[in-house]
Amino acid sequence: MHSKNIVAIGGGGFGRSLGALEIEKYIISLINKKRPKICFIPTASGDSNLYKLNFYRAFSKLDCITSHIDFFSRTENLEEKVLTQDIIYVGGGNTKSMLAVWKEWKLCEILRNAYEKGIVMSGVSAGAICWFEKGITDSYAEKLAIIDCLGIVKGIACPHFDEEKEREPYVNDVINREIIKSCICIEGNCALHVKNNIDYSSIDFGNGRKCFRLFKENNTLKKEII
Q: Residue 1, Cα to own-chain centre: how many angstroms?
A: 24
The residue from 45, 122, 160, 193 that is catalytic is 160
> Would residue 160 show up in a list of annotated catalytic residues for this protein?
yes
Helices and strands (DSSP H and E) totals, the chain = 7, 13
Bridge pairing between strands 145-148 and 132-137: antiparallel
Is 122 catalytic? The answer is: no
Residue among 48, 122, 125, 193 flagged as catalytic: 125
**Residues designated catalytic:** 125, 160
